[in-house]
Structure 1
Amino acid sequence: MENKEALNTLHDIKNLMEKSTKFLSISGISSILVGLYACIGTSLAYFILEKQTFPDTFLHIPLLNVATSYQLTLICLIALGVLALSLLTAVTMSYRKAKKVSRNIFKDKSVYRLLWNFFLPLLTGGILCFSLIWHQHYGLTSSIMLIFYGLSLVNCSKYTYSDIRYLGYAEILLGLIDSFVVTHALLFWVIGFGLLHIVAGIYFYYKVERQQD
């Protein structure tokens, strides 16, 4: 009986320490919404880009090319719009979830540690992608986005739910595959930022959030 009480006490202490050092107000619904935003953005990009179809292409998916600077500008605006909407959704839903447990995310040190570890690789990859676009080397931009986004998730997972690192591993692997198949960047982009986010959000909602409730 005493051993059981001691184990329960240790478990409670572990939970308290985890709550004080980790940010646990991430929403699975926000991940699903981010995935949907990415799918919508990819659909818009698909109709903007020039299409070329060859009989030996992968799954007969048309090759997509940036033919004009106007198309490039539109694609960049769509990507920035998806990013801005995704960040706004994640922050808003995390704020509401944290508020339910009387936690202010703007005064939580764990939030700043999480953000620093998330945005450092992400900004590095973003600057690298901007440099490639500036020099009109578009081929590897999608794979770099996926790889550095995956690194961001793995890097920040120690400051939130550790399961997030598995999404990061999947993004990195997908980005590496994409680097060898440079003709279908949009397909890998929608899988990585769209479908994987939706699947991860559903898993997180049913396996983590509902158990907490």
Structure 2
Amino acid sequence: MNKQEEQLNALNDIKKLMDRSSRFISLSGLSGVFAGFTALVGAYLAHGEIANYLNGTYTYGSSIEDLEFNLLKIGFGVLLVALTGGLLLTLRQSRKKNLPFWDRTTKNLLLNLAIPLVSGGLFIVALLLAHPGTYGLIAPSCLVFYGLALINASKYTYTDIRFLGFCEIILGLIAMFNIGYGLYFWAIGFGVLHIFYGTLMYFKYERGN
């Protein structure tokens, strides 16, 4: 090995150390895939709720408020399952790379992710309480606020997350003009896009490493 190659290796080692200290690189692509499939299951359940309501066979009440409440329960259930699975898969990836799971970078990532997410959640709840019957705005709002959260947190992890965020926002804005198809946009944004980007990140950062 000549001197130039040694210098290049040294620079690569320094770059890796800087990445580890400033970015959360233990994020598992498989967690995105898991979240995507979970979202598709949630979309299927929500579609069933809406179909039963429209067909007059709804068993949980007859008002639109009952439907909205059950859609929110499905949404929060999907979120809880996806977060739990993502946490376990990311923790596994962190141990595999022998990196700390909880440090200052992780805190910054979660804080920047949580601010738009919590704001979006409160916005949706307030919207439904103040304007009953607006459940058609849930999916577009979720997609837009989630996209903003990903972009806000992307500086602390892989840059691929930023592009996913842009895709979510664009999809949410399109869904605003297609209210009757919001559930399909929700399934694409949280299901298909997650599976696509999760698979991409897995082969790009994890497989073979």
Q: TM-score, normalised by structure 2?
A: 0.89
Match of 2:89 among 84, 87, 93: 93
Deviates most, 111-120 or 135-144: 135-144
Moved more, 173-182 or 69-78: 69-78
Q: 1:68 is matched with which residue: 59, 64, 70?
A: 64
CA contact (8 A) 2:112 2:152 kept: yes
Q: How does 1:10-21 map to 2 (within 5 A)?
A: 10-21=11-22
Tell me the equivalent position of 1:205: 202
Pairing 1:118-197 to 2, within 5 Å after superposition: 118-135=113-130, 136=132, 137-197=134-194
1:109 aligned onto 2:104: yes
What is the aligned partner in structure 1 of residue 74 from structure 2?
A: 78
Residue 59 of structure 2 corresponds to which residue in structure 1? none
Q: Aligned equivalents of 2:54 and 2:189: distance in 1?
A: 22
TM-aligned CA distance change 1:102 to 1:3, over 3 Å = closer
Mind listing any 5+ residue stretches in structure 2 that lack a counterpart?
56-61
Task: Give the superposed CA RMSD.
Answer: 1.7
Give the C-alpha shift of residue 101 in structure 1: 3.1
The letter of the residue matching 1:146 is: L
1:95 and 1:104 in contact (8 A); partners too: no
CA distance in 2: counterparts of 1:34 and 1:187, whole angstroms: 16
Question: 2:94 & 2:110 partners in 1: Cα distance?
Answer: 16
- 1:28 is aligned to 29
Structure 2 SS opposite 1:103: coil
User: Unaligned stretches of 5+ in structure 1?
Assistant: 53-65
C-alpha displacement of 1:26: 1.0
Change beyond 3 A, Cα 1:101–1:208: closer
- The Cα of 1:87 is off from its aligned counterpart by 0.9
Deviations 1:5-54 (CA, angstroms, capped at 9, x unpaired): 322211210111101111111111111111111110110111111348xx
Give the % identical residues. 39
| Structure 1 residue matching 2:207: 3-state secondary structure | helix
Q: Which amino acid aligns with 1:180?
A: F
Count of aligned positions: 198
Runs of 4+ in 1 over 6 A off after TM superposition: none
| Shift of residue 84, structure 1, vs aligned partner | 0.6
